[in-house]
Amino acid sequence: MIIRKERVNDFLNGLRAGYRLYAPVQTQAGPVFAPVNGATGWSWPAGNTLKSAKEVFLPQTETLFTYRTSLDGVQVEEARVEGRVVLLGVRPCDARSLTMLDKVFAGEGVRDPYYTARRENTVVLGLACNEPCGTCFCTSLGGSPFGTAGCDLLWVDLGDRYLVRVLTDRGKALVEGRPEFAPAGDADLAAARELEEGALGRMGTVPVQGVKEKLDRLFADPLWDRVYEKCLGCGTCTYLCPTCHCFDLTDEVIDGLGVRLRTWDACMYPLFTLHASGHNPRPTQKERFRQRIMHKFKYFVDNFRETACVGCGRCIRYCPVNIDIRAVLAEISAG
């Protein structure tokens, strides 16, 4: 389907009756996903958002439940997940990362009710990348700047209009019968194809072939002594990564009301694994750095037959000491 750019506002305003809208909003630090009131206050990001779309499903901080204790019991109130959401402007790498987080939080076995409810309530409106950034390498990892995994709709910017690919029933329900949309013609499809080929042609590549098999036997390799050295353990790479999902659980008491909180945490921090006895199974930054790489490129593959990196390049762009995961991967595949 096709929607002309001047009709997008009408479409979004029409959605407001049934959905809350989340879109990239500019902040001092960079664009992040936040609730918006329809047409204004947000923009499609050039490149990608600073924090990934995972934040909408696994917020950086969230209340799981509150409680009040008394002499003879405790009253627990579960936090409710807000109603239906349309999430705008998700790049294909971030959308694909959701399918990986699904395996952790909404897979076989015990499910996380908060994450699962948000996934069920949220329509993901993807935005294809006509201009991949210099740090993007999604195609090396099975993704694509026009990839559709995790999207309900994929929008392709054709200049004065968007081509809208309908991918799921949920996506279909959003656009079906809406007057802002018209059927796509051959010229629209051809224009999109040309953009896709252009984007694919400009995409950087990283040698990742055989990385998993290499890692199977590189745990004790001296390689790790070299690659981690500059790392400050700041955790930026893990917080910004769309597939990292470690968290902490803590209690706070506010005016007698107990609050059970979940907050992002990271394997890059020394306290993450510190035992109460004082023993730490990952005592230095070397072991922590290795854990981050091993988890994405080996352990996750062992468990789910998929690499837990979508090649979004955030960890490369925002690392304060310029550690480049592409170089680490190159070194592993050469090792």
Partner 1 sequence: MKNPYLPLPMRIEKITVETEDRSLRTFSLSFLNRADAEAFGFVPGQFAEVHVFGQGEAPFGIASSPLVRDRVEFTVNRIPGGVVTTALHNAREGDIVGLRGPLGNGYPVQEFEGKDVVIIGGGFAFTTLRSLTWYILANRERFGKLTVLYGAREPGLLLYKDELAAWQKRDDLELILTVDRGREGWQGKVGVVPAILKEAAPSAANAYAVVCGPPIMIRFTLPVLQELGFPPERVIMSLEMRMKCGLGMCGRCNIGHKYVCKDGPVFTLAELSELPAEY
Residues that bind ligand SF4 (CB under 6 A): 231-237, 240-243, 268, 296, 309-315, 319-321, 323, 325
Rounded Cα gap, residues 278 and 274, in angstroms: 6
β-bridge mates for residue 165, sequence order: 154
Cβ closest to ligand FAD, residue 110 vs residue 271: 271
- Pick from ligand SF4, ligand FAD, partner 1, none: which does 153 bind, CB < 5 to 8 A by kind? none
- Pick from ligand SF4, ligand FAD, partner 1, none: which does 55 bind, CB < 5 to 8 A by kind? none
Least distance in angstroms from the C-beta of 241 to ligand SF4: 3
Give the torsion sign (CA, 143, 145, 146, 149): positive
Compose the 232-271 pattern: x for residues touching ligand FAD by CB under 6 A, - for all others. ---------------------------------------x
- Pick from ligand FAD, ligand SF4, partner 1, none: which does 42 bind, CB < 5 to 8 A by kind? none
Rounded Cα gap, residues 213 and 328, in angstroms: 15
Q: Among 57-65, 88-96, 194-202, 274-282, which window interacts with ligand FAD (CB under 6 A)? A: 274-282
β-bridge mates for residue 258, sequence order: 67, 253
Cβ closest to partner 1, residue 41 vs residue 335: 335
Q: Among 146-154, 177-185, 272-280, 315-323, which window interacts with partner 1 (CB under 8 A)? A: 272-280
- Pick from ligand SF4, ligand FAD, partner 1, none: which does 25 bind, CB < 5 to 8 A by kind? none
Give all strands (DSSP E) within the chain, no chain letters. 2-4, 20-26, 31-36, 61-70, 73-78, 85-90, 122-127, 153-157, 161-166, 181-182, 247-254, 257-264
The closest of 148, 143, 146 to 131, measured between CA atoms, is 146
CA distances from residue 70 to 66, 76, 258 in whole angstroms, order as listed? 14, 11, 12
Q: Helix 285-294 vs helix 325-334: angle between axes, to the nearest 10 degrees?
A: 80
Rounded Cα gap, residues 241 and 236, in angstroms: 8
Verify binding: residue 274, partner 1, rule CB under 8 A: yes
Q: Within positions 58 to 97, which residues make up the interface with partner 1, using CB under 8 A?
A: 64-65, 67, 69-74, 76, 78
Verify binding: residue 265, partner 1, rule CB under 8 A: yes
- Pick from partner 1, ligand SF4, ligand FAD, none: which does 317 bind, CB < 5 to 8 A by kind? none
Per DSSP bridges, beta strands 85-90 and 122-127 are: parallel
- Pick from ligand FAD, ligand SF4, partner 1, none: which does 334 bind, CB < 5 to 8 A by kind? none
Give all strands (DSSP E) within 105-176, no chain letters. 122-127, 153-157, 161-166
Long-range contacts of residues 171-179, Cβ cutoff 8 Å, at least 24 apart: 171/123, 171/125, 174/15, 174/86, 174/123, 174/125, 175/1, 175/11, 178/11, 178/14
The site for partner 1 (CB under 8 A) is made up of 64-65, 67, 69-74, 76, 78, 104-105, 109-113, 116, 219, 245-251, 253, 258, 260, 265, 267, 272-277, 279, 281-282, 287, 291, 294-295, 298-300, 302-303
